Structure 1
């Protein structure tokens, strides 16, 4: 385990720097309309203990007519939300700071009567690229940055199950709380996850030949010194035999990958982004920060002995070691200017159902109480999904990939009124609409990468969701 101190260093990381943006470029939408920069409307939240009621999270998000969110962590926190009492959108290079400033105005007047675990939070995420096009297929309805404070939240944790209603007055919040208490009582109990809808056809964004060309282009840039690493990805469009029940698919993913995050972000347009990522980008509580380096992968073995052999090869591989080291070092460089103390633990293997990864836990104690969005901006994208150096890797990704990344491999999560929150990296993910879904997966390219090996590794990652559709 390694500890370092951030004292005496430059306090502003290169990619964490933000600048002011005029408040006319994007809007904060609430139940009553569009919020202006000087709007001081109040939000009121009321919470109720649901005791041991068996609430069906899937039934709450089973709609295309309203915004819906679902969030679950490996540690056991589960949240589901519906409707939007307020929505914050932003675009451009200052989108992280714009979201934070607008959310600060909303949260500043929010009154909550209930326990901390049931508090209102803003849920959403960001696109991978600043110049994200929300009209690009399949990302219709997904802005470059978009967060909602749901009208209703159901939170399940070790502290119990709570229902929270948010509105623009105490009477409206109480009324919403009563109505949703009755609705939850009438909803079906937790239902079996069932089976997948079946696969009718698939279409790749990248053929094996195109992939080889892309990897070789990256290797040329690595050889001439412009790049050290870049993550190239693929998209797989899937026609299903029936409409996809996304909530049921998430439940199947929970059973298969219990130690992963799970998220769902759906809009009225009917498209839903969801996934089961293994990688935490950042979690912040007060001045304590938790993150990790997750890079390098191998398949699971059919026997314990074969499984151990794959894990040993992860540890012994020079290629994987260099790739993983780049990720850990980049996280260190981005956090040190903000941290009073940084702790880098020993490497370990993270075992999932179909794949295993090399992982290094990283903790920090901040030099001040900063907002989690500041940390998310500083860390995105880690070399695990972008590359080194970041600017050249981004340019290579934009020039090389033949599909729109959208929110794939970008921060997805939540934050609260205190600037605490948690974000996962939006990998092992897909965008669904009816009987269509687009899946995404990528892999890190370094100096001795082989195009065929990298192709096989991407297919292994696509299986995390693809197997649940069959």
Structure 2
């Protein structure tokens, strides 16, 4: 589906001009903008580099089925084929932002209402921060008069400059009740069944997830929850996608799926986990134990090998960095950076299709792991553990894996976390690992 404008006007994108106008403005806080402008909206805040907030809808692209990314790329190529743009930094280019479901056969039922199998939005307005400078971008598809886009960016600029800075970050809403899926005993049964499959030779690894549904004591404030994640997880990718007036998907993920700029590609293998210590000495001991753990190293290398294999058909070279420990507030991970130089420039969606799902969130072999996940998990993953990110007219873009995440609406939220199961996994240890991974979202809510 290709829709133009938030009113749902559906027209063929072919031969329709995309008009883009940009203005520089004084820096303003992302929280203030989120507080002032409502949905649909999106947030993308990487540890390094430009961040942006988008709101309103100039165009929506959606697709379903196992060729959904190919369909989306073709739609995006048509959308971007005729651009009327002014001169401004590359970081302020129009961007399609969104994501996709973990399983291609996805029906957007609660709590995932509005989250199609694959959905990307070109925001009507996009505010980009580059170092200490902010840029406002206004987008319109086939406007009656391009001058109206100049008017729109000027009017929006005045609106933003009139935004009153908000006060301090409010306290979290608090958690009134919790409901887990599965129960601890059912989890043990699921893990043991997966281990039997692995030992029987059907699988090498499978990632099983849990969900935690919580009722909040007060309505969730999106500006405040994102601000809390910014403070607590500055070295993670913070994101938010809210397609309409309903649910919002947000998180602070440590896992980059892929970033592409021309022929240069960067990704990371992230797998193998342990907790954080109460003292510096205990923390370092846990990190050293993780680096020496045969089980965790095996799980990690399955991921790293798969990523290299998935990139190799497109790359003239693939380089692997040193395996280290990634320390986050509640958990430590093994990580290995991976970079590639491509034979030819590839659209980032091509690479997303090649990499999703990595064994860090799916398993090996992929088809057997997907079958196991479908047969085992009693809830819909929706967009959890799936690619979320953006791309531009050049096919450059960045995607993260939607873990350490939640989907929320009003005073309810559903959190997700998973653990990689290999032959020598222990069900109770894996349960404990999942509880650690709920930490970022629970910290933001209670």
Instruction: State the TM bucket, normalised to the shorter chain.
Output: over 0.9
Identify the residue that residue 21 of structure 1 maps to in structure 2.
none
Match of 2:152 among 165, 173, 176: 176
1: distance between equivalents of 2:36 and 2:159?
Answer: 14
Q: Aligned residues, how many?
A: 442
Deviation string 1:221-277 (CA, Å, 9 cap, x unpaired) is 001100000000001001000000122111111111110000000022321000000
Shift of 1:108: 1.1
Equivalent residue, structure 2, for 1:143:
116
Partner of 1:141, secondary structure, is coil
TM-score, normalising length from structure 2?
0.96
Tell me if structure 2 keeps the 8 A contact 1:60–1:82: no
- Report the counterpart of residue 157 of structure 1 in structure 2: 130
1:56 and 2:32 are equivalent in the alignment: no
2:13–2:79 Cα contact (<8 Å) kept: no
The answer for the alignment partner of 1:105 in structure 2 is 78
Q: In the alignment, which residue of structure 1 is the partner of 2:174?
A: 198
Give the structure 2 partner of residue 119 of structure 1: 93
Superposition map of 1:348-387 within 5 A: 348-387=324-363
Unaligned runs of 5+ in 2: none
Which consecutive unaligned segments of at least 5 residues does structure 1 have?
1-25
Matched, 1:253 2:229: yes
The equivalent residue for 1:129 is 103
Q: Structure 1 residue 186: deviation in Å?
A: 1.7
Does the aligned pair in 2 maintain the 1:47–1:115 contact within 8 Å? no
Q: Where does residue 9 of structure 1 map in the other structure?
A: none
User: SS at the partner of 2:253?
Assistant: coil
Hey, what's the Cα distance between the residues in 2 that align with 1:200 and 1:435? 10
Deviations 1:32-62, CA, capped at 9 Å, x for gaps: 75555563211111111113x3x23234334
Deviates more, 1:325-334 or 1:107-116: 107-116
| Corresponding position of 1:68 | 41
Q: State whether residues 267 and 339 of structure 2, in contact with CA within 8 Å, keep that contact through their aligned partners in structure 1.
A: yes
Q: Please, what TM-score do these two structures have when normalized by structure 1?
A: 0.91
Between the aligned partners of 1:439 and 1:241, the Cα distance in structure 2 is: 16
Q: Classify 1:453/1:64 alpha carbon distance in 2 versus 1 (closer, same or farther; 3 Å).
A: farther
Residue pair 1:219, 1:445 contacting (<8 A) in 2 also: yes
Cα contact 1:60–1:81 (8 A) shared by 2: no
Higher mean C-alpha deviation, range 297-306 or range 383-392? 297-306
| Among 309, 319, 341, the residue aligned to 1:343 | 319
CA–CA distance in 1 between the matches of 2:237 and 2:93?
20
Counterpart of 1:82 (choices 49, 55, 66) is 55
1:41 counterpart SS class: coil
1:327-383 superposed Cα distances (whole Å, 9 cap, x missing partner): 000001100110001101110111111111100000000010110000011000000
Q: Distance in 1 between matches of 2:2 and 2:18?
A: 17
